[in-house]
């Protein structure tokens, strides 16, 4: 039986092979071996955007690459990627790339990239910490192992990147904290060894400015077959 990671990659393969065709929700559900609603939730949690948004962004990114050549007509590209009229295509294209399709390549108007997703099975070799910091969480200072950052700019409208810390020697300090419904699967972290009971601090660097700091507890949660951490509410 295929793993969740393998099924997600199969779903993406199907989408990539049908970006210029109709994409069938029932086909996606069959490939994922679950309902379209469930695969949609799983996709959104792991990727940070919905299947619909992923398809739209991939189509618009490919349309931008084709228009860079100046050897194609806007209407032809619009129809190729599923838009019934140049007006609707121009509106979506401008919102995604920041300029209308007819201006592609002019005066530095470079199309925005949006690469295909590839889900990777967690590496067997784990990453060592980069440095030690001190973070204040729930009114107490903790030694924190810093594991670096991951770029989110190409697929998230909310944050450009996120940074990761693991709090050390937390004991039972967080076991009674209120838990949120938000979960973050292990494969959203750098390839580090995660054990139940550990607490992670993640800073989301918002595109609009500022940092959204969230705290996650490895409490044994499994979501759609993925080992996951659960967000907890703490005081700064």
The predicted model gives 168-185 an average pLDDT of 88
User: In terms of DSSP bridges, do strands 179-185 and 226-232 run parallel, antiparallel, or are they unpaired?
Assistant: antiparallel
Q: What confidence category does residue 51 fall into, taking pLDDT thresholds of 50, 70 and 90?
A: very high
Q: What confidence category does residue 235 fall into, taking pLDDT thresholds of 50, 70 and 90?
A: confident
Beta bridge mates, 144: 133, 167
Q: What is the pLDDT of residues 114-141, one digit of tens each?
A: 888 876 554 455 788 999 999 999 889 9
The predicted model gives 176-194 an average pLDDT of 88
Q: What is the pLDDT of residues 52-76, one digit of tens each?
A: 999 999 999 999 999 987 788 999 9
Backbone angles phi, psi at 200, to 5 degrees: -120, 140
Please, what is the Cα angle at 34 between 31 and 40, to 5 degrees? 85
Q: Please state at what angle helix 36-47 crosses helix 4-17, rounded to 10 degrees.
A: 100
Cβ count within 10 A of residue 169: 7
Domain boundaries, the chain: 4-103, 131-232
Asked if 85 contacts 101 with a C-beta cutoff of 8 angstroms, the reply is no
Q: Which CATH superfamily is domain 4-103 in?
A: Homeodomain-like (1.10.10.60)
Confidence (pLDDT) at 189: 92
Rounded Cα distance, 29 and 50, in Å? 14
């Amino acid at each position: 039986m295929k793993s969740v990671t393998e099924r997600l990659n199969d779903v993406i393969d199907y989408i990539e092979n049908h970006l210029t065709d109709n994409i069938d929700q029932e086909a996606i559900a069959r490939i994922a071996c679950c309902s379209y609603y469930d695969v949609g939730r799983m996709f959104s949690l792991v990727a940070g955007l919905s299947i619909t948004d992923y398809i739209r962004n991939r189509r618009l990114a490919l349309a931008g690459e084709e228009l860079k050549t100046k050897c194609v007509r806007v209407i032809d590209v619009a129809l190729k990627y599923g838009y019934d009229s140049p007006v609707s295509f121009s509106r979506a294209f401008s919102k995604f790339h920041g300029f209308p399709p007819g201006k592609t390549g002019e005066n530095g108007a470079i199309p925005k990239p949006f690469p295909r997703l590839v889900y990777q099975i967690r590496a067997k070799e784990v990453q060592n910490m980069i440095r030690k910091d001190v973070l204040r969480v729930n009114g107490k200072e903790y030694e924190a192992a810093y594991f670096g950052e991951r770029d989110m700019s190409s697929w998230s409208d909310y944050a450009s990147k996120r940074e990761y810390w693991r709090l050390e020697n937390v004991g039972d300090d967080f076991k009674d904290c209120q838990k949120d419904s938000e979960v973050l699967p292990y494969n959203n972290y750098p390839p580090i060894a995660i054990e139940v009971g550990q607490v992670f601090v993640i800073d989301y660097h918002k595109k609009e400015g500022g940092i959204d700091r969230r705290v996650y507890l490895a409490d044994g949660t499994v979501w759609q077959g993925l080992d996951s951490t659960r967000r907890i509410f703490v005081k700064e």
